[in-house]
A and B are shown apart, each in its own frame.
Chain A
Amino acid sequence: MTAIEVRGLTRRYSGGFEAVRGVSFDVERGEMFALLGTNGAGKTSTVEVVEGLSRPAEGSVRVLGHDPFAERKLVRPRMGVMLQEGGFPPDLTVVEAARMWAGTLTSPRPVDEALSLVDLAHRASVRVKQLSGGERRRLDLALALLGKPEVLFLDEPTTGLDPESRRNTWELIRALLREGVTVLLTTHYLEEAQALADRLAIMHRGRIVAQGTVSEVVDAYPSRISFVPPEGIALPVVADVDSSGRATVRTNELQATLHELLVWAERNNVELSGLDARSASLEEAFLAIAEEAA
C-alpha cells in the first residue's frame, strides 16, 4: 500500500523561482524513502509541500490517501514532522515544550516516554535555550514521535548530533521502521541514507535525477581500485593517475579486475602500496550525478 504519492510536483516561490520541477515518487507503507541532494536541490521545498505546509503550484500529493493541504484535519493526526528548522520558545523547559505539544494532539504517548526515546529524560527541566544544537534536534524528534505517527517526516534529523547520538537516533528510526512506521527522510549524510533507506531519490536543481534502491542507484557506477603504481613498469589495466601520483582504476567487475592486477603484481614482483579496492558507494554515485548534472 502506498503511504505517500507525489506526482509531477512543482513548487514556485513568489519571486517566480521554481524550487521543485515536476518531481514524482511513491513511498510504500513501512518503508523508508530518502531524498538526497546538494544544498538548494529542492529537498526541503519538496518535503514542505508533502507535509501540507503549502500547496503545490502544479501536480498532486497524497499522504495516506488524502491531500495533506486541503485535508489537513484528516492527515495531521496520523503524521509526525521534524522540520529542518523548527522552533520552541527558548524560555520553556524541555518537558514544558513537550507537554504543550502533547496538549495539541489527539492521542499522544506519555511525555516521559517520548523524551526517553531520544535520551532527553535527564534534561527535562532544562530551558530550551540552554540545550545544545544536537539536543534541540532530539527534542524536535521527540515531539514528532509524540503523536504515535504512521508517517514520519525527518528533515536532516541528525545534523549537529555527535556520532553516538547519531547512532542512537539511527537505532530508534530502525525500531520505528520495524513497527511499520513509514519514513520520508531528507539528509545530506549519504551514509545515513545508505544505512537506513529502502529506496531513495537524488535531487538536483529541483529535479529527481536518480531513483531506486541503494544498490540500483549505486550499481550504475563503477567500483574503484586505487594504489601508488610501481615505477618503471607499465600497468596491465587502464588507470588515471592523479597529481599526487595515485592511480585509480574504474571497473564494473571488481573481483576480476582486482585478481588480474594482483596476479600481475606477484608475477612482476612489485608492490601496490596503499592498495584500496571498493565497490561504488552512494557517495561516489552522488558525486558523479552532481558532476554530470552540473
Chain B
Amino acid sequence: MRAVAVGQAELKLFWRNRTALFNSLLLPLLLAPVLYSVDADGVPLVVGLIGFALLKAVYYNLVTTFVARREELVLKRLRVGELTDPEILAGAALPSVVVALGQMVLYTVVVGVVTGVALPSRPWFLLLGVLGGVAVFVLLAAASSAFTRTVEMAQVTSLPVLMACLFGSGLVFPLSVLPDEVASVLQYLPLTPVLELLRAGWADGPVLKPVIVLAVWIVLGTYAVQRWFRWDPRR
C-alpha cells in the first residue's frame, strides 16, 4: 500500500494542525453532557453520533484537506509520481478516516456503557453502514472540493451536503414527523441509507433498499470525482 506513505505524512500534518486537532479530539468531549440528558434508548444516539462523525470528521474535514493540498500544489506534485489517482486521494483521506473511525468507536463504547445499549445483533450491517458511509462521504468531499476555490470557501461550499444530511436524514429530528411524500424523497439522500443500515445492526430494519441507494451514491460519487475533480489550482 504505497498510499500509506502519503497517509502517514497527512497524519503528521494533522497532528501539527492545532485547529483540526482541537476540532476532532476535543469537540467530541463537548458532546458528553448531551449523553447524560439521554435517558431512553441509546441506539438512536449512537447512530446519530456516527452520522455526525461522517459529516464532520470525514466530509467537512476532507473538503478542506483536498482544497488545501490542491492549492499548495501538493496534489499536482503527487500526480507526476508513481501513485495512481485513487491512491493519492486515499492517502490524503487516510487520517480523517482514521480519526472518524476512532470517534465512532469511542461514541459507541461510551454511549453503550452509559445507556446500556445491547451488543448489535447484526454487526455486519453496522460495519457495512460505516464503511459505505465513509466511501460515500470521501467521494462527496472530493467532488465538493472541485467547486471550492479556497480553504475558507469550504465553509460555504460544504453547506448544501451538510444541511441536507443534517435535517433530511433524521439526524436532528426523526423523518416520521414529516409528511410521507417528503420523507419518501429524503430517504434517497446519501446519509439516510447509512443511518438505516446502522439501525439495522440492532433491529430488524430493511436492508436491501439502503444498500442499493448507498451503492448508487458510490457510483455517482465516483463519476463526479472522475468528471470534476481538480488536481491543480484554478487559474
Partner among B2, B73, B81, B82 whose Cβ is within 8 Å of the Cβ of A85: B73
C-alpha gap A92/B8 in the complex (Å):
11
Tally A-B pairs: CB < 8 A. 80
Q: A28-36, A101-109, A118-126: which lies at the B interface?
A: A101-109
B161 → A minimal CB distance (Å): 26
Contacting pair B80 A97 (CB below 8 A): no
Contacting pair A106 B82 (CB below 8 A): yes
With A88-B74, A89-B69 already in contact, the answer to whether A100 and B80 are too (CB < 8 A) is: no
Contacting pair B79 A92 (CB below 8 A): no
How many chain A residues have a CB neighbour from B under 8 Å? 31
B6 CB within 8 Å of chain A: yes
With A104-B5, A147-B82 already in contact, the answer to whether A83 and B13 are too (CB < 8 A) is: no
Nearest B residue to A106 by beta-carbon distance? B82
With A91-B16, A91-B17, A147-B82 already in contact, the answer to whether A86 and B76 are too (CB < 8 A) is: yes
Partner among B13, B73, B82 whose Cβ is within 8 Å of the Cβ of A91: B13
With A87-B72, A89-B9 already in contact, the answer to whether A77 and B77 are too (CB < 8 A) is: no
B78 CB within 8 Å of chain A: yes
Contacting pair B76 A83 (CB below 8 A): yes
CB contacts (< 8 Å) of B9 on chain A: these are 89, 92, 96-97, 99-100
B contact patch SS: helix
C-alpha gap A153/B80 in the complex (Å):
10
A110 → B minimal CB distance (Å): 15
With A89-B9, A89-B69, A97-B9 already in contact, the answer to whether A104 and B17 are too (CB < 8 A) is: no
Q: 12 extra interchain contacts, Cβ-Cβ under 8 A, other than A86-B77, A92-B12?
A: A51-B80, A76-B81, A83-B77, A86-B73, A89-B9, A91-B12, A92-B13, A99-B9, A101-B5, A104-B82, A105-B2, A105-B82
A-side interface residues toward B, CB under 8 Å?
Answer: 51-53, 72-73, 76-77, 81, 83, 85-92, 96-97, 99-106, 140, 143, 147, 153
19 contacts between A and B (CB under 8 A): A53-B76, A72-B84, A85-B73, A86-B73, A86-B80, A88-B74, A89-B9, A89-B69, A89-B72, A91-B12, A91-B16, A91-B17, A92-B13, A99-B9, A102-B5, A104-B81, A104-B82, A106-B82, A140-B77
